[in-house]
Amino acid sequence: MTAPGNGPLIIASGLEKTYPLPESGRLCVLDGAGFTLQGGTTLAVTGQSGSGKSTLIALLAGLDRPDHGQITINGTELTGLDEAGLTRFRAAHIGIVFQQFHLLPHLTAEENVRLPLELLHRPCEAEAIDALLERVGLAARRGHLPSQLSGGECQRVAIARALAVKPLLLLADEPTGNLDVATGREVSDLLFHLVEQERMTMVVVTHNQELADRCHRRLRLTEGVLR
C-alpha cells in the first residue's frame, strides 16, 4: 500500500511518561519517544506487553498527558489545551477503537453509533447512521444491545461509532485482541477497507504481526523509545 503524499498530521516529540510504583520509585514507560506521521498514512506500533503502547495511544487521544514532550495534531498542540479543550478536540477530530469495545450496554448498536454525534450536537440523520451500520455489515442488527451481539459484531459497532464523526485520526488499541483468528481477520479487513475508502490517518497498537504488516509504516516501542 502506498501512502498518499499529504502533509504531516501528527508530530510527537520528546514524550516522557512515568508512573509511580506501589512501594517506591517510578516506572518509566516512555523516555523521549517521538514520531511524525503524514496525513493519510497508517502506522502500526508494536512492542512487548507493558512497553507503553497503550500509554502512547492515550497520549495521542488526549486521554492522558505526557510528563514532558509535545503532541501536535493537524496544527493543534494537545499539550497546550486544558481538559475542556482536549475533550472538544478529541470528540470532533479523533476516533478511537478499543480492545474492550467500550460500548454502552444499555444502548442499541444504532444508539451507540449515534452517541458521539449527539454529544457534539451534530446532525445525526437516521439515513446516515443506517449507512454506517450497512458499511460494517450490521444493518440487520441495529436494534440489538451489545449483550445480544458477538465479539466481532461489537467491534464492528465500535468501528462505526469511531467513524461517525468523520475523524481526522483513527486510533486503534489492539482492535483484534479480544477476537478469534478468523473474526480478527474479518475485522482487520473491514478496518483497513474503511480507512482506505476515507483516506484516513490511523495509528494502531497491536501484537498481531499480520495486522501490523498491512500498515504503511511500522515502529517498535522498546525501552521507552520508538524505533
Ordered DSSP codes for 67-111: SEEEEEETTEEGGGS-HHHHHHHHHHHEEEE-TT----TTS-HHH
CATH number at residue 185: 3.40.50.300
Cell of 187: 475485522
| Whole-angstrom distance, CA of residue 57 vs CA of residue 77 | 16
Query: Do the domain assignments include residue 182?
Result: yes
Query: Do the domain assignments include residue 165?
Result: yes
| Whole-angstrom distance, CA of residue 216 vs CA of residue 5 | 12
Number of domains in the chain: 1
Three-state DSSP at 180 gives: coil
| Whole-angstrom distance, CA of residue 122 vs CA of residue 93 | 13
Flag whether pLDDT at 140 surpasses 50. Answer: yes
**How much helix, strand and coil, in percent to the nearest 5, is found in the chain?**
35, 25, 35
Flag whether pLDDT at 5 surpasses 70. Answer: no
Query: Do the domain assignments include residue 2?
Result: no
| Whole-angstrom distance, CA of residue 117 vs CA of residue 68 | 33
Flag whether pLDDT at 125 surpasses 80. Answer: no
Reported as a single tens digit per residue, the pLDDT across 88-100 is 999 889 999 988 8
Reported as a single tens digit per residue, the pLDDT across 24-33 is 788 899 999 9
Query: Do the domain assignments include residue 123?
Result: yes
Flag whether pLDDT at 1 surpasses 50. Answer: no
Q: Which residue has the higher pLDDT, 179 or 5?
A: 179
| Whole-angstrom distance, CA of residue 40 vs CA of residue 195 | 9
Domain span at residue 170? Answer: 8-226
Query: Do the domain assignments include residue 3?
Result: no
Query: Do the domain assignments include residue 25?
Result: yes
Residue 96, C-beta contacts closer than 8 angstroms, at least 6 positions apart = 57, 61, 162, 170, 171, 172, 173
Query: Do the domain assignments include residue 1?
Result: no
Tell me the pairing of strands 8-20 and 169-173: unpaired
